[in-house]
Amino acid sequence: MFFLILLVFVLCNSNGLVSSLNTEGFTLLSFKQSIYEDPEGSLRNWNSSDETPCSWNGVTCKEQKVVSISIPKKKLYGFLPSSLGSLSDLRHVNLRNNRFFGSLPTELFQALGLQSLVLYGNALSGSLPNEFGKLKYLQSLDLSQNFFNGSIPTSIVQCKRLRTLDLSQNNFTGSLPDGVGTGLVSLERLDLSFNKLNGSIPSDIGNLSSLQGTVDFSHNHFTGSIPASLGNLPEKVYIDLTYNNLIGPIPQNGALMNRGPTAFIGNPGLCGPPLKNPCSSNTPGASSPSSIPFLPNNYPSQDLDNNGGRTGKGRGLSKGAVIAIIVSDILGICLVGLLFSYCYSRVCACSKNKDESGYVFDKGGKGRQECLCFRKDESETLSENVEQYDLVPLDTQVAFDLDELLKASAFVLGKSGIGIVYKVVLEDGLTLAVRRLGEGGSQRFKEFQTEVEAIGKLRHPNIVTLRAYYWSVDEKLLIYDYIPNGSLATALHGKPGMVSFTPLSWSIRLKIIKGIAKGLVYLHEFSPKKYVHGDIKPSNILLGHDMEPHISDFGLGRLANIAGGSPTVQSTRVAAEKPQERQQKSAPSSEVATVSSTNLGSYYQAPEALKVIKPSQKWDVYSYGVILLEMITGRFPVVQMGTSEMDLVQWIQLCIEEQKPLADVLDPYLAPDVDKEEEIIAVLKIAMACVHSSSERRPTMRHVSEALSRLAVSSSD
């Protein structure tokens, strides 16, 4: 069949008889023939007149052999041909975020050297072939956000080198294959959420000691009890078991210990801490070691005779023992009373001569001690009580309590190294965003309270408002206003699984640009401490109903550190990655678009941030400049140049040096706004000033905001 396809190409191509295109080139031309729509012309330079396909867009070769096909996010509409499996040296396939349909051809698994298969965000369907076991070198498998069904092939456990397994948001059914925990020993990321998987969670999952981040079993139909072996996973791993049909007590060991209730909600049959639903004696597994109450060694036992009856030894306490206990209790009460009287005599009573702080100092005769008293109405509530388990409002408009919050409908908005963010809808319709910082860690409550209350005082239309917080030993929550239109990153670039994508017009982009500037001016100039945000990037800019921008995550890294979490960034200083670590380990090295928004964060960082310990407001100015360039060009902050990478700032500087026309730099979605060219160029000049390599040469955000205001006035003349 494959040779018949080649023959058809030779006969149909006018240059076929003289073409010297090699066999792999014809294989890729058969792939091109399977594409019905290519709206962006991504395969335009795939021509049979070339000797090899190595210069074609999205194709990478090594020693004239195709090793990578990477064409993500190009709206390609078609199916995957079986001929791809004949590329014997193929290592990486990345066709994410296109519109491929149909099933996964079994012939694809003839490419035995395949290391990464990234197909998420398409419309692929059908069951997965059992040939996965042939891919002994497979390290990354991401089939999320498709329509695959059937069971997960049992042969997947033979992929011993697999590091990433993401099958989320499909229609998989059945139970997990036997041996997942013993076979996939290299697994670092596991996401099975939003499927229809059932059966019990295998106990051998606890053997996956390399797992990181979140292990996601949520939104499935898993049944049975939670295996205690899950506690053997690394303690920093967050195990998401929400919305299944799990039952019984929650094991309290290892990675399962001190977890908040948010990891287990949606399982009515679960009981025991951290849930408020206590386990009854009839609950399956309630007699497990984790739920046995502690008994002192001297707990009076009732000895049994050989027939099972109680002996005389165990008939209870003797009369003498009861009397001794009563006498000791009376003596203890007397001692406490004497101690209280002594302490009371040493403390002076509060008089009317108090100063404004509520303290009184007795300056009496020699030997008199200095003492102080608090006013009865002085509020020393949460700050004096770390074990307070109640919601702390930071705004007088907060009219809900903790119970209402916990009973509300919750939806996961996103996950990161700093925790999970939920959209929470209260019974009265009020919508909030709740960030869960995590559980455990250091208990520096005073420090946390100081930081969170300072953040809660910030009030500006372009900064997300922190309304309340919750602190307990095993749960820390931050409650914000909910901003409905997602992040600027999504508005600019879309995201996997988006059904439709509406590009931002220039007028909307300019509105967002000015709003971000105003928010930063407030932080830098008018906030109580003239703050530095330190982590400005599109994913931290949220868009409201009218597309007004709201800066989020201010101070988040600092709070996560105090709360004992493991943040990926800090608000005062972003921890940069090494260039070679900016991409996900499992992603194809030739494709930048696979980099997560978290890993892209270092590209927004000012170059001097790695050398200077004290944060500067000019760091935020640099980050803001990169965002402006991203909004003008529509590109990510790292640009692919053939087989090499270049950050967006360097790329723009190169374009300016080569005097390329604006059309080569401009986001194609801005083509209808050609009449705004002067305005766009003016913003580009502001951006280049913001990303100057010397921090002293960068403008302040106030100057930037004023320049943008003048620009708006001049453009309306």
Query: pLDDT digits over 589-614, tens only?
Result: 333 333 444 456 678 988 888 776 67
Residue whose C-alpha is closest to residue 452's, from 393, 503, 499, 497: 393
Instruction: Write down the pLDDT at residue 389.
Output: 53
Q: Are the CB atoms for 246 and 218 separated by under 8 Å? A: no
Residue 577 has pLDDT above 70, yes or no: no
**CA–CA dist 533, 571 (Å, integer):** 6
Residue 247 has pLDDT above 70, yes or no: yes
Tokens of 3: 């040779």
Q: Are the CB atoms for 143 and 565 separated by under 8 Å? A: no
Contacts of residues 606-613 at CB distance under 8 Å and 24 or more positions apart, as own/partner, are 606/695, 607/693, 608/695, 609/573, 609/574, 609/576, 610/576, 613/573
**CA–CA dist 612, 624 (Å, integer):** 19
Q: Which residues of 660-696 are buried (b: 16+ CB within 10 A; e: fewer)?
A: eeeeebbbebbeebeebeebbebbbebbbbbbbeebe
Phi and psi angles of residue 566, each rounded to the nearest 5 degrees, phi first:
-130, 70
Strand bridging mode 116-118 / 92-94 = parallel
Question: Higher confidence at residue 617 or residue 332?
Answer: 617
Residue 150 has pLDDT above 90, yes or no: yes
Residue 8 has pLDDT above 60, yes or no: no
675, amino acid identity: D
331's torsion region: left (phi>0), alpha (psi -120 to 50) or beta? alpha
Length of the chain, in residues: 717
Cβ atoms within 10 Å of 265's Cβ, excluding its own: 17
Q: Which residues of 323-359 are buried (b: 16+ CB within 10 A; e: fewer)?
A: eeeeeeeeeeeeeeeeeeeeeeeeebebeeeeeeeee
Sheet holding 189-191, edge to edge: 59-62, 65-70, 92-94, 116-118, 140-142, 164-166, 189-191, 214-216, 238-240
Question: Higher confidence at residue 139 or residue 563?
Answer: 139
Lowest mean pLDDT among 2-6, 335-339, 529-533: 2-6
Lowest mean pLDDT among 87-96, 166-175, 253-262, 606-615: 253-262
* Close Cβ partners of 564 (under 8 Å, ≥ 6 residues apart): 438, 439, 440, 441, 442, 443
Residue 314 has pLDDT above 80, yes or no: no
State whether residue 170 is helix, strand or coil.
coil
Q: Which residues of 612-634 are buried (b: 16+ CB within 10 A; e: fewer)?
A: eeebbbbbbbbbbbbbbbbbbbb
* Close Cβ partners of 53 (under 8 Å, ≥ 6 residues apart): 21, 22, 24, 25, 28, 46, 59, 61, 66
* 535 is known as an active-site residue: yes
Q: How would residue 331 be classed by pLDDT, with cut points 50, 70 and 90?
A: low
Give how far the C-alpha of residue 193 lies from the chain's centroid of Cα atoms, to the nearest Å: 14
Lowest mean pLDDT among 34-48, 560-574, 646-660: 560-574
Q: How would residue 504 be classed by pLDDT, with cut points 50, 70 and 90?
A: very high
Residue 513 has pLDDT above 90, yes or no: yes
Residue 364 has pLDDT above 50, yes or no: no
Average pLDDT, the chain: 76
Mean pLDDT of 436-462: 78
Phi and psi angles of residue 162, each rounded to the nearest 5 degrees, phi first:
-65, 125
Residue 232 has pLDDT above 60, yes or no: yes
Mean pLDDT of 321-339: 57
Residue 119 has pLDDT above 90, yes or no: yes
Q: Are the CB atoms for 75 and 36 separated by under 8 Å? A: no
Place of tokens 């997947």: 156
Which member of 38, 191, 535, 620 is catalytic? Answer: 535
> Per-domain residue ranges for the chain?
59-271
Residue 24 has pLDDT above 70, yes or no: yes
Mean pLDDT of 201-218: 87
pTM of the model: 0.47
Residue 497 has pLDDT above 70, yes or no: no
Q: How would residue 319 be classed by pLDDT, with cut points 50, 70 and 90?
A: low
State whether residue 712 is helix, strand or coil.
helix
CATH domain 59-271 topology: 3.80.10
| Cα distances (angstroms) measured from residue 75 to each of 108, 170, 239, 497, 503 | 22, 20, 34, 12, 14
Residue 691 has pLDDT above 90, yes or no: yes
Q: How would residue 326 be classed by pLDDT, with cut points 50, 70 and 90?
A: low
